[in-house]
Amino acid sequence: MDAVDFKRWRKSLKLSQKEAAEALGLKRRVVQYYEKGNRDGKEVVIPKTVRLACYALTLDVPDYHGPGGRDRKKEKKRPPHHQDEHV
């Protein structure tokens, strides 16, 4: 993802720079650097973590709590399976 792709991503979700920053856990200024592609004349590379977060937000995943996290429906608990019961 380069600067043009990043800006296209933000606009496709109809987010302001401030909203994109909040959604990604960044400061608005960092979003501006990513869209510009440089900071003080030096190239700014968008980290993989940010690129993956952009993808997650595109899929409407606002947060992740790990496998079996709070977002997942509780599965019915089953009694443990005992192999010795087949006697």
pLDDT of residue 61: 92
Can you tell me the distance from the alpha carbon of 87 to that of 55, in angstroms, rounded to the nearest whole number? Answer: 52
Task: Please give the domain boundaries of the chain with CATH numbers for all domains.
Answer: 3-58 (1.10.260.40)
- Are the CB atoms for 32 and 40 separated by under 8 Å? no
- Are the CB atoms for 6 and 33 separated by under 8 Å? no
Cα radius of gyration (the chain): 21
- Are the CB atoms for 10 and 35 separated by under 8 Å? yes
**pLDDT tens, position by position, 9-53:** 999 999 999 999 999 999 999 999 999 999 999 999 999 999 999
> Tell me, what DSSP letter sits at residue 72?
S
pLDDT of residue 68: 81
Statement: residue 56 has pLDDT above 80: yes
Confidence category of residue 80, pLDDT binned at 50, 70, 90: low
